Chain A
Amino acid sequence: MPNKQHKGISYAKYGYLFSLPFIVAFLIFSLYPTIYTLILGFTDCKGLGNTDWHILEHPFDNFKNVIHNKSFVISLKNTITIWLMNFFPQITIALLLTAWFTSRSNEIKGKGFFKVVFYMPNIITAATVAVLFKAIFAYPIGPVNDLLLSSGVKDTAYNFLVSKSAAKLIVAFIQFWTWYGNTMIVLISGVLGISPDIYEAAEIDGANGVQTFFKITIPNLKTVLLYTLVTSLVGGLNMYDIPKVFLDGGPDNATLTTSVYIQKQAFSGSYLYNKASAASMIMWVIIVICSAVLFWIMRDKDEAKLNKEIKLAQKKAKLIAESGGKEWL
Chain B
Amino acid sequence: MAVRKKNASNRAFIISAYVFCAFLTVLSLLPFIIMIVNATRSTYQIQQHAISLVPSHFLKSNFEVLKDKGSFNAFKGFKNSLIISVGATACTIYFSTMTAFALVAYDWKLRKPFFTFIMAVLMIPAQVTSIGFYQFMYKIHMTNNFLPLILPAIAAPTCVFFMRQYMIPSLPMEILQSARIDGAGEFRIFNQIALPMMKPAMATQAIFSFVSSWNQLFLPSILITKNEKFTMPMMVALLNGDIYKTEYGSVYLGLFLTVLPLLVVYFLLSKYIIAGVALGGVKG
Contacts and interface: CB of A to CB of B under 8 A. Distances in A.
A145 B136 contact: no
Interface in A75-134: 93, 96-97, 100, 105-106, 108, 110, 114-121, 123-129, 131-134
Interface stretch (B57-65, B123-131, B198-206): B123-131
A11 B186 CA distance: 9
Interface in B237-251: 237, 239-240, 248, 251
Contacts of B175: none
A234 B125 contact: yes
A253 interface: no
A18 B136 contact: no
Contact of B29 (A117, A126, A132, A135): A117
A169 to B, nearest CB: 15
Interface in A21-51: 21-26, 29-30, 32-40, 45, 49, 51
A328 B171 CA distance: 15
A231 B283 contact: yes
A29 to B, nearest CB: 4
Nearest to A309: B168
A145 B34 CA distance: 13
B106 A14 contact: yes
23 contacts: A14-B186, A15-B108, A21-B99, A22-B155, A30-B121, A30-B152, A36-B131, A37-B128, A118-B28, A120-B266, A134-B240, A136-B31, A185-B278, A186-B277, A186-B278, A189-B279, A228-B283, A245-B217, A245-B240, A262-B131, A273-B135, A287-B125, A302-B119
A127 B236 contact: yes
B75 interface: no
Interface centre among A11, A125, A224 (most CB of B within 10 A): A125
A29 B265 CA distance: 30
B280 A287 contact: no
Contacts of B283: 179, 182, 186, 228, 231-232, 235
B162 interface: no
A238 interface: yes
Contacts of B240: 131, 134, 245
B174 to A, nearest CB: 10
Interface string B131-158: 1111110110000000010011011000
Nearest to A288: B124
Given A8-B107, A263-B130, 10 more contacts: A16-B102, A22-B155, A37-B129, A37-B130, A51-B138, A185-B277, A186-B277, A228-B283, A295-B123, A302-B119
Contacts of A24: 154
Contacts of B50: 138, 141-143, 145-146
A177 interface: yes
Interface string A216-241: 00000000100110011011001011
A134 B98 CA distance: 43
B133 A106 contact: no
Interface stretch (A63-71, A199-207, A274-282): A274-282
A241 B102 contact: no
A238 B279 CA distance: 23
A284 interface: yes
A266 B46 CA distance: 39
Nearest to A48: B138
Interface string B96-116: 101101110111111110110
Given A30-B152, A185-B278, A125 B215 contact: yes
Contact of A19 (B32, B34, B102, B127): B102
Contacts of B280: 186, 189, 224, 227
Given A22-B95, A121-B28, A238 B125 contact: yes
Interface centre among B18, B109, B112, B129 (most CB of A within 10 A): B129
Contacts of A124: 215, 259, 262-263
Contacts, number: 311
B273 interface: yes
Contacts of A32: 132, 136
Contacts of B49: 146, 150
Nearest to A224: B280
B156 to A, nearest CB: 8
A117 B267 CA distance: 10
Contact of B266 (A38, A123, A188, A306): A123
A111 B203 CA distance: 24
A280 B130 contact: yes
Contacts of B236: 125, 127-128, 131, 245
A249 B173 CA distance: 54
Contacts of A74: none
The 9 closest A-B pairs by CB, nearest first: A36-B132, A15-B108, A15-B106, A37-B132, A18-B102, A25-B154, A291-B123, A189-B278, A33-B132
Interface centre among A18, A209, A263, A280 (most CB of B within 10 A): A18
Contacts of B255: 128, 131-132, 135
